[in-house]
Amino acid sequence: MYAPYEPHIASRHFWHSRLVRGEEQENNSDDFRVISLNILTGMHFVKGILTKEIPIPFAIPPFACFRTNRYHGTLQVPRTPFLYARWEFMTMIKNEWPRWSGVFSAVTTKMMPDGSLDIPALGKHFEWQIESGVNGLVVLGSLGENATLTPHEKQQVIKVAILVSNGSVPVLSGVVETSTLAACRFVEAAAKNGADGFMLLPAMIYPADAREAIRHLRTVAAATDRPIMLYNNPVAYGIDITPAMFAELADEPKFVAIKESSDNVRRITDILNLVSDRYQIFTGVDDLALESLVLGAAGWVAGLVCAFPKETVALYRLIKAGRMPEAIALYRWFTPLLHLDVSLKFVQNIKLAEAIVGCGTEHVRMPRLPLVGNERERVESIVRHALATRPQLPNI
């Protein structure tokens, strides 16, 4: 249960805290309750570092004993206070939570013919995306074949992206795990390897209800100090994070953005009407990009950007600049390509497009196989027609 602020857990005067979210968990002693410390001071999130045992100042009602749990920011607080406590959260750090926007490239994972990672190709592709003007990289998403990679391979991909980016754009990692524990372990490891943030969806396979999905998202957030983009894709994964659920999750400051992939463009307006600009909303459906951005989305987690980055960035900038006739003309040229992102075989579609353009290969990780027959001919025809009629991009 996520309990509201309780005075016996933390003083109202301490850090002028507005909210402490608590979660009851099983413990060996009834004297302790486990809470996740999300203390908001304005737009800042306060966290701390283990120090030593000291007396709590008289001016502050005693907290009793702070003891760190496995995940960063999770504390054990005894219900019965005493004057001297083990003070484990002393060095205060303020996190300025980002306001992501723009085109974030949902990059493919480059592979060798035998299915192993092609590290040089990964680095080259990440570099090309950044040079083409994207505002962020999202590795290990659905398009990145996350579910087929080993834990070690996932961390390798993150390390390459961080090395290439070198702080020039944020690098987010998809969190695609079948259990909450696995997701928590993954974000811990990814943060150590430099990931700037995460794109988090409910756990895979099990069709969680709203209560279970919210608990999963909150628990993973407690496992990291990095900002998070919540990912809603009920079409692919069968779990719908509704606008009402986003409103309920709004008190977690690490949830800074939403990737909205419900295939229902009305959701953009519904979310904005309910929570205003609390989240940075990104569209995650390529062939609804213009509609979503016009309705107020701040960004676009794009798929065809992998093969056509300059066109994707130009379209985003034209829309945001209000140059709609130019944006609509470019969008109409782009739309047959963007439809390739909305398919059960979108990974194969986009990797084939990369191969035709000359920025990648078709190699995928089994059980996926490269396209053949009519499916292949259709994608080849669309991509080759787009290349033959490729427009000159405006200065933007």
pLDDT band at 14 (very low <50, low <70, confident <90, very high): very low
Query: What integer best gives the mean pLDDT of the chain?
Result: 82
Strands (E), the chain: 2-3, 21-23, 32-36, 39-41, 44-47, 53-55, 67-68, 74-78, 84-86, 93-96, 102-106, 136-139, 171-175, 197-200, 228-232, 255-260, 280-283, 299-302
Cis preceding-peptide flag for 207 (omega within 30 of 0): no
Q: What is the pLDDT of residue 96?
A: 79
Q: What type of residue sits at position 145?
A: E
Domain contains 395: no
Domain contains 299: yes
Comparing CA positions, the residue from 95, 160, 98 lying closest to residue 130 is: 160
207 plus 270 within the same structural domain: yes
Report the number of secondary-structure helices (H) and strands (E) in the chain: 12, 18
Comparing CA positions, the residue from 76, 71, 72 lying closest to residue 31 is: 76
149 plus 285 within the same structural domain: yes
Instruction: Tell me what the mean pLDDT of segment 215-242 comes to.
Output: 96
Model confidence pLDDT, tens digit, residues 311-328? 999 999 999 999 999 999
Domain contains 394: no
- Find the CATH number of the domain harbouring 170: 3.20.20.70
129 plus 79 within the same structural domain: no
SS3 track for 356-376: HHCCCCCCCCCCCCCCCHHHH
Whether the predicted pLDDT of 22 surpasses 70: no
Domain contains 396: no
Instruction: Tell me what the mean pLDDT of segment 241-267 comes to.
Output: 97
Instruction: Tell me what the mean pLDDT of segment 75-92 comes to.
Output: 33
Q: What is the pLDDT of residue 51?
A: 31
Q: What is the pLDDT of residue 10?
A: 28
Instruction: Tell me what the mean pLDDT of segment 208-217 comes to.
Output: 97
Q: What is the pLDDT of residue 95?
A: 57
Whether the predicted pLDDT of 108 surpasses 60: yes
> Which residues, 6+ apart, have CB-to-CB distance to 316 below 8 Å?
102, 103, 289, 293, 299, 300
Relative to beta strand 2-3, strand 21-23 is: antiparallel
Tally the domains of the chain: 2
Alpha helices, DSSP H only, in 223-258? 234-237, 243-249
Q: What is the pLDDT of residue 175?
A: 98
Partner residues linked to 94 by β-bridges: 46
Instruction: Tell me what the mean pLDDT of segment 268-297 comes to.
Output: 98
Whether the predicted pLDDT of 93 surpasses 60: no
61 plus 135 within the same structural domain: no
Task: State whether residue 84 is helix, strand or coil.
Answer: strand
Instruction: Tell me what the mean pLDDT of segment 256-280 comes to.
Output: 97
Tell me the residue range of the domain where 15 lies: 2-96
Whether the predicted pLDDT of 40 surpasses 80: no
Which one is predicted more confidently, 56 or 143? 143
Question: pTM for the full model?
Answer: 0.78
318 plus 191 within the same structural domain: yes
114 plus 30 within the same structural domain: no
The whole-angstrom separation of Cα 92 and Cα 84 is: 20
Comparing CA positions, the residue from 108, 105, 109 lying closest to residue 156 is: 109
Residue 161 backbone phi and psi in degrees, to 5: -65, -40
Comparing CA positions, the residue from 352, 333, 332 lying closest to residue 341 is: 352
Whether the predicted pLDDT of 114 surpasses 90: yes
Percent of the chain having pLDDT more than 70? 76
265 plus 346 within the same structural domain: yes
Instruction: Tell me what the mean pLDDT of segment 336-354 comes to.
Output: 97
Report the sign of the C-alpha dihedral through residues 125, 348, 304, 285, in that order. negative
Decide: 201 and 175 in contact? Cβ < 8 Å: yes
Q: What is the pLDDT of residue 282?
A: 98
pLDDT band at 183 (very low <50, low <70, confident <90, very high): very high
Relative to beta strand 84-86, strand 53-55 is: antiparallel
